């Protein structure tokens, strides 16, 4: 789902960078003004949830046609944190992924933030906002968030002059729809697990208990350490489509210290990935929890 550099033309990525920058500043102000997030008991939750979504995004699962997908996490974040905090948390994840792991382009960062942190979060939160928090609305939100983000990416490729025939578009949208359904199921399961720890925390945005935060943090660590063994090596939907139409990445940032989600030279591949993931979740937690506290 992350668009790398070289896929979009300068007018497209410059426009999306220009749109995303003030939008991020606005949601940062909204998040800092929110009473629920300003509460010291709520601030660590942003870091914990950000770390969990980052960890989950590292674990790709097979979808279809030789492609894979991973949790986007916009709906999960929006239901637990609210849409503004969710968009800010997702932005932090995307920026760190680009700079530390070379996952998503630096020039295309505005496009990725726009697609996933804003369109994905808002689309995922819309069914919950309209119909209330129910299994069906959360499932629909999870699916819609992925399809909307993917459709935006496809539209941006078209605007950049990439030739996407009906077959390629059908394959891309089909993969996004399947990934979205899996996203919805995972989101429902994750919310139910948190509800069992403290049911009243989700609908009212009141602070989630320390035990709930610890459980989410432990889940993130398990995903990091175990994900290296179970993650699919197949390309995600956008990469799969790019290979079909002959798109080639042209990175402008090639010095990412943990490129490919690996800490090079420290042992076998699984250990390199696990250690890189641990560094990643620590950085995400710090940026989300400490950054939001600054006023």
pLDDT value, residue 93: 96
pTM of the model: 0.92
Dump pLDDT digits (tens) for 135-186.
Answer: 999 999 999 999 999 999 999 999 999 988 888 889 899 999 999 999 999 9
Asked if residue 27 belongs to a domain, the reply is: yes
Asked if residue 2 belongs to a domain, the reply is: no
Beta strands in the chain (DSSP E): 61-64, 67-69
Q: In whole angstroms, what is the distance from residue 98 CA to residue 227 CA?
A: 20
Asked if residue 37 belongs to a domain, the reply is: yes
Asked if residue 217 belongs to a domain, the reply is: yes
Number of H helices, E strands in the chain: 14, 2
Asked if residue 190 belongs to a domain, the reply is: yes
Asked if residue 120 belongs to a domain, the reply is: yes
Q: Which domain holds residue 127?
A: 10-293
Q: What is the CATH number of the domain that holds 121?
A: 1.10.1760.20
Query: Which DSSP category does 41 fall into?
Result: T
Structural domain count, the chain: 1
Q: Please check the confidence at residue 15 and state whether its pLDDT lies above 80.
A: yes
Angle formed by the axes of helices 269-285 and 43-57, nearest 10°: 150
Asked if residue 1 belongs to a domain, the reply is: no
Dump pLDDT digits (tens) for 230-278.
Answer: 888 888 989 988 988 888 899 888 889 999 999 988 888 889 999 999 9
Q: In whole angstroms, what is the distance from residue 74 CA to residue 116 CA?
A: 7
Asked if residue 236 belongs to a domain, the reply is: yes
């Amino acid at each position: 789902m992350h668009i790398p550099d070289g896929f979009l033309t300068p007018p497209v990525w410059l426009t999306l960078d220009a749109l995303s920058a003030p939008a991020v500043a606005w949601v940062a102000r909204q998040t800092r003004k929110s009473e629920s997030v300003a509460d010291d008991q709520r601030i660590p939750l942003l870091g914990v949830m950000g770390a969990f979504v980052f960890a989950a995004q590292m674990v790709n699962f097979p979808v279809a046609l030789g492609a894979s997908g991973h949790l986007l996490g916009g709906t999960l974040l929006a239901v637990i944190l609210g849409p503004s905090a969710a968009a800010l948390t997702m932005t932090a994840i995307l920026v760190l992924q680009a700079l530390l792991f070379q996952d998503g382009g630096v020039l295309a960062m505005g496009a990725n933030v726009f697609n996933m942190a804003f369109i994905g979060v808002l689309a995922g939160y819309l069914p919950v906002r309209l119909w209330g928090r129910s299994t069906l609305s959360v499932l629909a939100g999870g699916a819609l968030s992925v399809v909307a983000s993917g459709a935006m990416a496809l539209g941006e490729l078209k605007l950049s002059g990439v030739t996407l025939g009906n077959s390629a578009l059908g394959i891309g949208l089909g993969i996004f729809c399947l990934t979205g359904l899996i996203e919805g199921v995972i989101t429902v399961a994750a919310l139910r697990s948190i509800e069992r720890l403290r049911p009243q925390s989700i609908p009212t945005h009141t602070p989630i208990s320390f035990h709930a935060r610890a459980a989410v943090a432990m889940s993130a660590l398990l995903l990091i350490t175990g994900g290296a063994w179970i993650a699919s090596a197949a390309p995600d939907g956008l990469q799969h489509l790019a290979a079909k139409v002959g798109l080639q990445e042209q990175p402008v940032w090639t010095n990412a210290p943990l490129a490919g989600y690996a800490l090079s030279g420290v042992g076998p591949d699984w250990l390199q990935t696990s250690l890189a993931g641990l560094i990643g979740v620590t950085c995400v937690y710090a940026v989300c929890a400490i950054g939001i506290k600054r006023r």
